[in-house]
Structures are given as structure tokens and as C-alpha cells.
Chain A
Amino acid sequence: MTTSGSDVTVESVVRRVVARHRGERGALLPVLHAVQAELGHVPQEAVPLLAEELNLSRADVHGVVTFYHDFRREPAGRTTVRICRAEACQALGADRLVTYTREAGLTLGETSADGSVTVEQVFCLGNCALGPSVEANGRLYGRVGPARLGAILNGTVS
């Protein structure tokens, strides 16, 4: 893994990120967030490198990566859409959005075959007075009905 010149190999990213967080106490979470921000996910080959750099066991690192919902082990689609399914959004029909997604041929927790969109569920986006809420590529939408969700999924609203 010594591709010359490239600074986006997993190894170079991991070492650079760890160096940046070296002085922080208990740095594994900030490091994982930073790795995912650069690579889009936390690839399996990053685990032994992180273990070595942070003086942890591979099991420790693997355990943390798999404990938290946020860390992806495979890349997501170009658009990531998260539908809130917590109580406040349930009370306003969040399930209609889930049904719509299903009828559009998408599966919660999966990426569409063409790699365009990943749809996930999330429990609370903190927009409980203006639900149902949906987040797309980090942007929050309130009062989302099926039609609006369709536009978000198609990327016509961004």
C-alpha cells in the first residue's frame, strides 16, 4: 500500500488523521469520524492500521467501529437520505414515508443498485415540532410528505 504520490490511500489517510489527533485524550472516535469524512467509510484495512497507530488491539477498534451506527464499513450512495422514525415523527405519519420508500423500490439501510442513493432510518433529528423530518446529505427538511420525499430522493430538491 505504497502507491507513490497518492495521498488518498487508506494507509496515508489513517496516518495523517491520527497524527492530527495525536494530542487528544481517547481519540478513537474523532479519528474514525475524520477517516470516514475523507474516505466515505471506514474500510476494513483501516482497522489494523488504527490499532497499530493508537496502541489498541484490532478487537478494540473493530468493536468501536461496529458499535456505532454512524460508521459505515462500505461506501454509501451519492445521496444519503435519513428518515426519522422516532415517536414525534411517527405521530405525524413518518411511516407513510417509509412505505413510499419501499414502493419506490428502495430498502431502508441499503444503497440503490445504481449507487445513487442510500436510505436509512434515524431516531430523532431534533425537529420534533415540524415533523415528519428527513435529512439528506446533512441537510434537514421539516414537514416532509411523500411527494417532497420523492423529490429529495430524486435529487431534485437539494
Chain B
Amino acid sequence: MNNSSHSTDTGSRPEATGSRAAVTVYVPRDSAARSVGADEVAQALQHAAARGDFALDVVRNGSRGMLWLEPMIEVVTPRGRVGYGPVALEDVDALLAAGLLDGADHPLRLGIVDELPWLARQNRVTFARVGVTDPLSTEDYEAHGGLAGLRAALARDPADVVAEVTASGLRGRGGAGFPAGIKWKTVLDCADELKFVCCNADEGDSGTFADRMVMEGDPFMLIEGMTIAAHAVGASEGYFYIRSEYPVAIATMRRAIAIAREHGWLGKGVLGSSLDFDLHVRVGAGAYICGEETSMLESLEGKRGMVRAKPPIPAIEGLFGKPTVVNNVLTLATVPVVLAEGAKAYQDLGVERSRGTQVFQLGGNIAHGGIVETAFGITLRELIEEYGGGTHSGRPVRTAQVGGPLGAYLPESMFDLPMDYEAFAAAGAMVGHGGIVVFDDTVDMAAQARFAMEFCAEESCGKCTPCRVGSVRGAEVIDKIVAGTHRDENLALLEDLCDLMTEGSLCAMGGLTPLPVRSALTHFPDDFLGGRRLLEIHPVRATEGTA
């Protein structure tokens, strides 16, 4: 975190460019953009302005989600925002000399960003502002429709707000897809004085980064969603549980909360209403299991992140035993638009029982990775081939894992499946949170199956035996199968073990680990033929050695 938030340049207005007003240049502050040099590009632009060579203001925006083009900078021109990318530090001087500030031609020029087909084809609802605005500017936020949802909600009775969310069909985006309105109704109906709203921002699944991008790119939206939830259920305190691997998201949310308090968007009498509500950020500590909601609640209470048995459900006995709404980042981020535009408008998007839009995240070995927000029902093939442009390596796609480490590996022959909760469930897979990790034909599926078991062994909270012991045995059995030792018996044993883990585990960690394992076995049986040693993917105990 070495970068100040919304850094407008303070340099002089140079004579060289005449009396013209400074041109705004957007350079993302998103972690992904920074991981490939956005900070250096922003600094170079600021230096050029400070030297007096060019009249420009740098604004650090979120990312548009076209991550293969990062750092992608945008110049405000009369025709719209013109994008250039990927821009390396060495390109900055040449770009400026070529007329960057007029949106002039250059090999890195992408065109008017809003008209780029990759973006224009999407239906950005939750991500409407991400990458467009300065994430920490309240003026920008309100100018782009911010607070409309909260104002609409505060004008209505809590029960009406809950009814609107229920009618929208909004389902939890964390993976399970539980209807948000029903959860809220349960909390609303509890008589307790003290209730909580918790945002699960422990986005630990590989292949997911949308939560991070929302927190870094549009934090006020999440604060607005939390506040609407608080009004709807009668909560007075809210917590963001953000994983420690996301330092930029943590800093951005903390800053946004402080700004929101200064503006009366949080605290006593939110926006002049009778609602008292405040928010706090809590930081995880490197435990994957804390993405499971009851484990997260334990962690928020300052304990080991051990999964709780349900019932009681958190909506009735949640944080510190009080009624608690626990929703994922994208669920809460979508609440403001539902209230602002009404359940009907949101309902009209999507298919069957999967309403609204889904935020797909393309990652792994993919040429054009990033965020694709679109209505449910798009196929995996459209996502991977049309949006994703195939693999980064240029080799053929062999499989994609959908829905995180606990999601199924699907073969290319199943890529025409429409992406909706029910169609995927029927095919033995899950949409989950919409994370898609692509692998090329060099992948060893037995190694991936083994990794699923090892990851479970490493990250299990240890409370229930099927998960704690089953995962260790699972890795051993896969080793034996691949080595060709009593192959048929061990395959039967693995099946049995998967059944036991699925049926007997306390939560999704042990319960869904068989999904990647079984899908790898079903769709790629040849990889499990005997007589060889596996790639070594052996997690070591990170807590012990160094530590």
C-alpha cells in the first residue's frame, strides 16, 4: 500500500500545451493491474505532468476487468474514454509524444473503451461502476447512480425491502445460491435487539477475484448494500471479513468506511433517517475454511475457524449467538441496484430460476482473462473461446474447473452446457461463484484430483472425520491407483471414500472435495492408468516450518 488513494496530480499547468485544461488519464489501482506495473505507469505520467511537459491529471480507477490488457490506461477525450494497453513503463514517453492526451493513434491504442466488443457485449449490472469511477470519490459515486438504492430502501418499511429482494430472485453469490430474501426474512423475524450483518469477503477460491475487484473498485456499493441489509433486518453493526491475502482491498474498504462516516452514510441516523448502523473491517489470517460462513463467524468471534453444525442457522443464532445475515460480496453489491431499479428489472435478466446476471471470472491458462458479467445461460464455450480467446499458452484447452477448488473439472465436450445453477447441478457440476479456471492439454488430471484431496487435508478445520481423515486417505488412494497397485480395489475404495465425504462431512469443504476428484476420474480416466509417479504437488505445513 504505497499509493495514495485518488491521486490527482498537483503539478503545474504548463505553458507548453497552451491554456488547455488538464486532461484526465485513468490508471487502475486494482491489484491485478498493479501486479503488472500500473503504479510505475501512473508515476511516470505524474512525473511528466510535474515536469510541466504535459497537462494531465492521473485518476486511479478500478479495473475494467480486461485483465490481459493491464495496465490499461484511459484518456478522456470529447469522443469518450480512449484506452491504451497493456502499457509498460517504457511506453509512457512514446505514448505522450504520440499524442496520448488527444487519444491519438498508437500501436497500443485500443479504441473507445465503452465500444470495445469484449465490454460492449456484456451486461454490467454489479460491475457497472467498477473501472469507470474513482473508487473513493463520493461525488463520482453519486453521479453514477450511487445511493439511489439506499435512499429507496430507507423510504420503505424493512419488510417491504425484504419482499423486494425476495421478488428479485437474487441468490447468494458465494457458491450455494441460496435466495437472499429468504435469509433476510428469517433475521427480520427474530425479535432480538442486537443483530449483525456480515459480509463474507474471504474469497479464497482459486479462479475468483470479482470480490476483490469490487472492494478495490467500488467499495461504496458494498457499504450501500450492507446498509440496506441492516435497515431490512434491523441490524446495528456490520462486519467485513476480508482475507489477509488482499491488502489493497482491506485498505480500500477501511478508507471507504471512514469517508462514508464523514458523509453521514454510516453512523447515527444514516442519510438523515432513523437508522443507526456502523461497519468494521476484520482481517482473516490465512485459513481457507473461514470462507465457510459458520467458520467465518467463529473467526470473527476471535476463535479458531472451526465449522459449526447447522442448525441453528446463522440467521437465527449467528455472530455471538445473535441473528446474523451472512452474505457474499457480490450478493451485497447487487442489492443496491435491485432496490434502485426494482425487482422486476432485475428479474427480467437471466433464465429459469437463475435470475439477474452472473459475474464470471476467467482465469488460469487463458488468453483473455478477466470479468464477464452477463445474464445466466451463456455457455462455457462462449466464455472460454469467444471471450477468453482460448489458452494463454496457445495449446488446446483440455478442461476447465468451474466454481473453485471444490468445483468439477469439465471436459471440452461439455462446454455447451448453459451456465445456470440447475443445469450445472443436473450435470454433476456447480456454477458456484462463477470462477472458471482453464487448463491446456499438458494438465495431468490425476495430479489435479490428488491436489483436491491434499488441499482439503491441508485446509480442513479438522472438526469432522470424513473431511479430516478422508482427504488424507483420498490422496493416498489416488497415489496407489496411479502407481497401479490393486487398481480396481483402490478405485472402488476411492468411490466409497467420495460417497462418505459427500454424505458425512459437516460442510462443503469435505462435502464437495469429491466433485473435482470424481469429475477428473469420470471424464479423464486415462490419466489414472497405472505405472507412473505423480507430479509433485505436495503442500507443506506452512504453519509449522517457518513459522
Contacts and interface: CB of A to CB of B under 8 A. Distances in A.
Contact of B244 (A70, A95, A133): A70
A125 B443 contact: no
B540 interface: yes
A101 to B, nearest CB: 12
B363 A129 contact: yes
Interface in B301-317: 301-305
Nearest to A42: B547
Contact of A68 (B285, B401, B437): B285
Given A120-B546, A141-B35, A91 B365 contact: yes
Contacts of B543: 66, 68-69, 71
Given A109-B544, A111-B546, A128 B369 contact: yes
A110 B541 CA distance: 10
A129 B362 contact: yes
Interface in B299-342: 299-305, 320
B539 A85 contact: yes
B345 interface: no
Contact of B245 (A89, A118, A125): A125
Majority secondary structure, B binding face: loop
A133 B35 contact: yes
Contact of A126 (B31, B287, B305, B438): B31
Contact of B545 (A33, A107, A138, A143): A107
B285 A129 contact: no
B283 A29 contact: yes
Nearest to A138: B247
Contact of B285 (A24, A32, A76, A141): A32
B268 interface: no
Interface string A36-58: 00000100000000000010000
B31 A109 contact: no
Interface in B247-270: 247
Interface in B1-20: 1
A130 B36 contact: yes
B188 to A, nearest CB: 22
B184 interface: no
A17 interface: no
Given A88-B206, A127-B31, A128-B361, A108 B459 contact: no
A95 B535 contact: yes
The residue among A91, A110, A127, A130 with the most chain B CB atoms within 10 A of its own CB is A91
Interface string B532-544: 0001110111111
B35 A142 contact: yes
Nearest to B305: A67
Given A109-B546, A120-B542, A121-B540, A140 B35 contact: yes
Contacts of B206: 86-89, 123-124, 128
B363 A122 contact: no
Nearest to B249: A126
Interface string A76-93: 100000000111111110
B424 interface: no
Contacts of B53: none
A123 B285 CA distance: 12
Interface string A127-147: 111110101001011110000
A73 interface: yes
Given A67-B304, A126-B203, A129-B370, A109 B541 contact: yes
A71 B31 contact: no
A27 interface: yes
Contacts of A20: none
Interface of A: 24-30, 32-33, 41, 54, 60, 63-64, 66-74, 76, 85-92, 95, 107-111, 118, 120-131, 133, 135, 138, 140-143
Given A68-B286, A89-B206, A143-B35, 8 more contacts: A29-B299, A67-B287, A67-B305, A72-B546, A92-B393, A107-B545, A128-B435, A130-B35
